[in-house]
Amino acid sequence: MAAAAVLLPPVTPPTYHRIVSETLRVPFDEKVSIPVGLLACQRDPLLREIATTVVSARISQAPTPPSNGRKSKKEKAPPVPSEPLLEVVLHDTVIFPEGGGQPSDIGVLTSSDGELWDVIEAKRHGGHAVHYVRSKDQSADRALRSFSPGAKVGVALGDEGWRRRLDHMCMHTSQHLLSAVLDTRNLPTLSWSLTAWPTPSYVEIPRSMSADEIASVQDEANRLVFEGRSVHVEVEELHDENMPDQAKLESGRNVGKALPADYTGGVKRTVIIDGVDRSPCCGTHPPTIHNLQLFLLPHTESLARASTASARLYFLAGPRLLHHLGAVHAHLARTAAALSCGAPQVPERVEQVAEERKRAGKRVDDVEAELAGLLARDLVGAVVGAGGAGAVMHRHRTDDAANPLGFLNAISMAFAREVAARPDAPPYLVVLSSSPSAQTAASTSVVLVFGSDEARVKEAGDALKAKLNVKGGGKGRWSGKFTGVWREKESRAVEEALAPLSGVNP
Ligand SMILES: [Zn+2]
């Protein structure tokens, strides 16, 4: 990640995490793990490390399956490490286990002997966060000793983990803001995806939007950003009466504001953007949307599904937006340099180059047709000049055309037209070959045989196969390919292959 100039307050304000129930407490007994919903990463999204205690650790039984069960095949699974993984449950953590559409954090554990251990991901199992820790040897015994229950450990995001988290937070909170503004336009969010860095994420909405409509939504969202609306979280116990609505569309699909079915943490958590939005969500969100400038790609992508006409609206914010700007600028600067013009002139220059290319292509076609005609006339002249029983001839060309066989065919067609107008033409057999100017052992030369007698054409093709290893075939006209460097020797081999057929000559 290149740029990360997103300004956040240095610490999370004490008013950020609000327990709104009289009876709910964050468990302080270090022998139990704090349920997902009340974790340090959720109470204080700017906290990067804490000291805590191991509750349990075991060797991971299998590669970690996708916890939401609906990951597309395209999404890359984390690399399977060669060493066994440990599943470590801590009393508390700053490493967010994936949830609410937000991917898992990565981080580092420090055991009491000062050793560092990579956390490659964290997942929610029921109501608790499980850290997947890479062990350092095959037996994993040393790792299990370092993470015995009650052991003191440090848990940190580390630089890489923090950059990843900051990006995820900026994109996730921007999604809440975007969905809230879309809601006011009667465009409910059907689903969303926090795509892998650095691609734009998207919300799925029931219909496509015009560029003007998108610009208006972007303006409205950024007005709220400029106002620097604050973000806070309210938590309470979860019970039947306050269960978030499992809102459904007419099509029966969930609108995505419900709790995961396997969540057993007993905490209801609501993320509030002041005066804008209240959404049940377990994700990590910065304490303000200040400076979370939102950019919407100015078009929607329609999704072809039998029952719906939904569309995706793509968005960028925070470090991902800055990266996007940098990458787009680099592309534009490179294109401008290649075209020897300034960036603003690029579209005009590209149109100009495309138009010139079209005209040049047309001219090449015209000139090729004219040249094929002239070459054919020359060949017909030679055939007629041979007189008597006719002519067997070979002509070799050097040609860097994309389709050299096409040009040889054009010569043969022009020849056929020309020779038809010459009742005095004797029988003939013509071999045309063509090689590129710079040749290597892998180069391809093409060969075309045509003549007044189909049987002779086939005989000539068979002789070229035998003498020169030309691979080819065809009825009436025989064409083939030769692989390697075509030199004098190859042209002489063609003459030799044709020698027994020169019976058409007097
Ligand atoms: Zn959310």
DSSP letter string, 38-74: SSHHHH-TT--EEEEEEEEEEE--SSPPPTTS---TT
Question: With b meaning 16 or more CB within 10 Å and e meaning fewer, what string describes 60-83?
Answer: beeebeebeeeeeeeeeeeeeeee
HSE-up (13 A, CA, CB side) for residue 156: 13
**Separation of 37 CA from ligand 1 center, angstroms?**
12
**Separation of 80 CA from ligand 1 center, angstroms?**
28
Q: Quote the domain boundaries for residue 200.
A: 165-338
Q: In what order do the strands lie in the sheet with 17-19?
A: 17-19, 231-237, 267-273, 277-280
Of 112, 143, 159, the one marking the end of a domain is 159
Q: Does 497 reside within a domain?
A: yes
Mind listing the pLDDT tens digit for each residue in 95-139?
999 888 899 999 999 999 999 999 999 999 989 999 999 998 888
Mind listing the pLDDT tens digit for each residue in 35-50?
999 999 999 999 999 9
**Separation of 254 CA from ligand 1 center, angstroms?**
15
**Separation of 133 CA from ligand 1 center, angstroms?**
26
Q: What is the three-class DSSP state of 26?
A: coil
**Separation of 162 CA from ligand 1 center, angstroms?**
19
Residue 307 pLDDT: 67
**Separation of 175 CA from ligand 1 center, angstroms?**
7
> Residue 126: which of 259, 28, 270 has the closest Cα?
259
Q: Are residues 23 and 103 in the same domain?
A: yes
**Separation of 239 CA from ligand 1 center, angstroms?**
20
**Separation of 95 CA from ligand 1 center, angstroms?**
17
**pLDDT band at 216; cut points 50, 70, 90:** very high
- Contact between residue 206 and residue 303 where contact means Cβ atoms under 8 Å apart: no
DSSP letter string, 322-372: HHHHHHHHHHHHHHHHHTTS-GGGHHHHHHHHHHHHHHHHHHHHHHHHHHH
Q: Does 386 reside within a domain?
A: yes
Of 159, 192, 227, the one marking the end of a domain is 159
Mean pLDDT of all residues in 437-451: 94
Residue 321 pLDDT: 96
Instruction: In whole angstroms, give the CA distance from residue 280 to residue 271.
Output: 6
> Residue 413: which of 387, 444, 361, 375 has the closest Cα?
375
Mind listing the pLDDT tens digit for each residue in 255-285?
455 666 666 668 899 999 999 999 999 999 9
Predicted confidence (pLDDT) at residue 5 exceeds the cutoff of 80: no
**Separation of 45 CA from ligand 1 center, angstroms?**
14
Structural tokens at position 195: 């795509």
Q: Are residues 246 and 319 in the same domain?
A: yes
Instruction: In whole angstroms, give the CA distance from residue 222 to residue 229.
Output: 11
Of 131, 159, 187, the one marking the end of a domain is 159
How many structural domains is the chain composed of? 3
**Separation of 73 CA from ligand 1 center, angstroms?**
23
Residue 202 pLDDT: 97
**Separation of 172 CA from ligand 1 center, angstroms?**
6
φ/ψ of residue 473, rounded to 5: 180, -170
**Separation of 77 CA from ligand 1 center, angstroms?**
22
pTM of the full structure: 0.77
Q: Are residues 264 and 376 in the same domain?
A: no
Predicted confidence (pLDDT) at residue 465 exceeds the cutoff of 80: yes
- Contact between residue 265 and residue 127 where contact means Cβ atoms under 8 Å apart: yes
